[in-house]
């Protein structure tokens, strides 16, 4: 059975060999490296999820978020210390977390009670294909659903097209899980720059389903999963086992 998510499809499109490495747990654990930005993003996401999941409404404020960040950072202190390297760098990221929490709390998205956080539904499209993925949050208001995804990195003007398919994929999943509600909006919330990108609901979810099935077929039939050089090769964790780069040594 093949298990797909928007990020797996994006990885396959970028480079089939990288997809192979990412989906093989042994290779992934051996070569995947954590970067400060990646770990920082995970910490912020974890805090914002716990902010709703584990905190009562009256306790949802800046101090709660700040403490959540501190607790999560200290919980894995050795690992975090190694990744963030030195005190100055740690202080820089702690300050950035405070900035992003303030942006979040000032926004209308800090209000309300999410229907879902983090635990996004899986959907068995066929006996051969399971769909899933990680989405930050879904709100339900007036019988309409809003999908919200937090971004902690920089807003990239030219990278926005990539998100359209990802958001359509999640909209498709949500309509399978909650057929009684319509997905009204899909939001990307850039906490670093206090920028919100809003996408309308997809006009044709049958087309989205068709697209997903096509990707699944392509991946299933790709026996070789060859490397494909691309603009992100220099940041790829699998360069040392990638034939395109080994040849050049
Ligand atoms: S280095 Fe480039 S070509 Fe090689 S696996 Fe990574 S992304 Fe693919």
Give yes or no for residue 247 having a pLDDT over 80: no
**Where residue 101 falls among pLDDT bands split at 50, 70, 90?**
very high
- The pLDDT score that the predictor gives to residue 246 is 78
Nearest-angstrom CA–CA distance, 245 and 249? 7
Q: What is the pLDDT of residue 158?
A: 58
Query: How far apart are alpha carbons 245 and 55 in whole angstroms?
Result: 48
Q: Whose CA is nearest to atom 4 of ligand 1?
A: 242
Confidence band, pLDDT 50/70/90 cuts, at residue 159: low
**Ligand 1 contact, 20 CB (< 6 A):** no
> Residue 164's pLDDT is what?
87
Instruction: For residue range 197-232, list pLDDT tens digits in order.
Output: 999 888 799 999 999 999 999 999 999 999 999 999
Question: What is the arithmetic mean of pLDDT over 237-244?
Answer: 95
Look at residue 154 in the predicted model and tell me its pLDDT: 85
Name which of 237, 224, 209, 204 is nearest 4 in CA terms.
Answer: 209
- Once rounded to an integer, what is the mean pLDDT over residues 60-84? 94
Tell me how far the alpha carbon of residue 222 lies from the centroid of ligand 1, in angstroms.
16
* Atom number, ligand 1, closest to the C-alpha of residue 228: 3
Taking the model in full, what pTM does it have?
0.88
Mean pLDDT score of the chain: 91
Ligand 1: nearest atom to the Cα of 16: 8
CA dist list (Å): 27 to 22, 30, 102, 180: 7, 5, 39, 41
Q: Which residue has the higher pLDDT, 118 or 43?
A: 43
Compute the average pLDDT of residues 121-148. Answer: 90
Averaged pLDDT for residues 109-121: 80
* Ligand 1 lined by 239 (C-beta under 6 Å): yes
Helix (H) or strand (E) run with residue 199 in it: strand 195-200
Q: Provide the 8-state DSSP code for 55.
A: S
- 137: Cα separation from own chain's centroid: 11
Please indicate whether residue 19, judged by its CB atom, sits closer than 6 Å to ligand 1. Answer: no
Predicted pLDDT of residue 56: 84
Q: In the prediction, which pLDDT does 66 show?
A: 97
Position 24 scores a pLDDT of: 96
Given this model, what pLDDT does residue 161 score? 64
Question: What is the per-residue pLDDT across 187-204, written as a single tens digit (0 to 9) for each?
Answer: 999 999 999 999 988 879
């Amino acid at each position: 059975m093949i298990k797909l998510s928007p990020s797996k499809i994006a990885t396959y499109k970028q480079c089939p060999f990288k997809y192979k490495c990412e989906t093989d747990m042994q290779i992934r654990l051996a070569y995947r490296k954590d970067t400060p930005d990646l770990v920082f993003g995970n910490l912020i996401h974890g805090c914002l999820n716990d902010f709703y999941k584990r905190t009562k409404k009256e306790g949802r404020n800046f101090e709660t978020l700040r403490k959540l960040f501190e607790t999560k950072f200290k919980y894995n202190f050795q690992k975090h210390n190694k990744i963030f390297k030195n005190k100055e760098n740690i202080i820089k990221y702690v300050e950035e977390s405070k900035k992003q929490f303030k942006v979040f709390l000032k926004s209308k998205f800090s209000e309300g009670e999410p229907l879902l956080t983090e635990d996004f539904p899986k959907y068995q499209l066929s006996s051969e294909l399971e769909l899933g993925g990680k989405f930050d949050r879904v709100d339900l208001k007036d019988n309409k659903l809003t999908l919200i995804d937090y971004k902690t990195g920089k807003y990239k003007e030219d990278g926005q097209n990539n998100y359209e398919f990802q958001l359509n994929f999640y909209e498709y999943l949500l309509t399978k899980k909650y057929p009684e509600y319509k997905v009204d909006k899909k939001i990307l919330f850039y906490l670093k720059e206090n920028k919100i990108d809003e996408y309308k609901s997809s006009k044709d979810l049958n087309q989205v389903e068709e697209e997903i099935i096509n990707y699944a077929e392509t991946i299933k039939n790709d026996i070789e999963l060859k490397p494909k050089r691309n603009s992100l090769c220099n940041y790829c964790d699998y360069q040392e086992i990638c034939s395109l780069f080994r040849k050049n040594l």
